[in-house]
Every structure is written in C-alpha cells, then in structure tokens.
Amino acid sequence: MLAIDDRSIVDSKPAQRAGDSEKITINLGFVDLGHIDLFVAEGLYANRSDFIRTAIRNQAERHAEVTRQSVARNRVELGLRHFNRADLEEVRDRGEMIHIRVLGLASIAADVSPELARQTIGSLEVLGSLHASPAVKAALSDRLR
C-alpha cells in the first residue's frame, strides 16, 4: 500500500522477508502519479510499487553495459555481500584491512562489534543498502563514502 503525502509517495507495504527490500520516498508530479494509477486500474500492474520496481528494472536493463563497465572498472561487488564476525576476525588476525565496495546490499552481522569493524574495515562504499547495527554504522561513519 502506498501512502500519499502532498507530492510524495511512500511504499508502506511491509517487506516479505527482512532484507528483501528497502523503503524509499519519491516525489512525483500529479500527472505522473495519475499515469501510474491508471496503469494499475487497467490491470497492467498489481500496484504502484509494482510499476515503480518494473520501471527501475527496465532502466537497469537498458543501461546494463554501463553497470558492467563500472563494476569492472571500480572493482565493485554486485549483489549481496555479507560479513560475519568470523570473516572479520580472520582479516584482523592476518593484520589486514578490507575495503568494501558493493552495488546492492552489504550486510554486517549483528555479532560484529564496533571495535572489530574499525579494526578491519578501511573503507565502505555501498550503492544500495547497508545493513549493520547502529553502533557499527556509527563506528564506520568516517569511512563511509
């Protein structure tokens, strides 16, 4: 279900599973919003969110070559990347730092302490969503790009 507030629409439908989606707010003109509602009313899309997701996927597909080149050039991991305590303890024990670059979802496990995160993560750039405890996000705030 989408809630409308002035020219903003918010997808307030709960995610089917935690981590599957991220809620965003976008501003649309009334005519654009009307087009979406018309397409939904005509049965082309299940709801507004379905239309918006489809439009984004179509644009991502249209510009797939740009994504491919950027991922290769910038050494960005595409998709989901999870870091657990054991992974980071191994990095720490080797005396190394990692530099995380993800297009998609980067997830740092709940059992990773802020201290361990600071000892092992040199930089963090996420194009998409970062799931980590508030304490870990705060500890890495100066390393986020």
Q: How confident is the model at residue 7 (pLDDT cuts 50, 70, 90)?
A: very low
User: Is residue 10's pLDDT more than 70?
Assistant: no
What lies within 8 Å, CB to CB, of 11 at 6+ separation is: 2, 23, 24, 48, 49, 52
Strands 25-27 and 8-11 turn out to be antiparallel
| Mean pLDDT of all residues in 97-122 | 96
Overall pTM > 0.85: no
DSSP summary character for residue 140: T
The pLDDT value recorded for residue 19 is 53
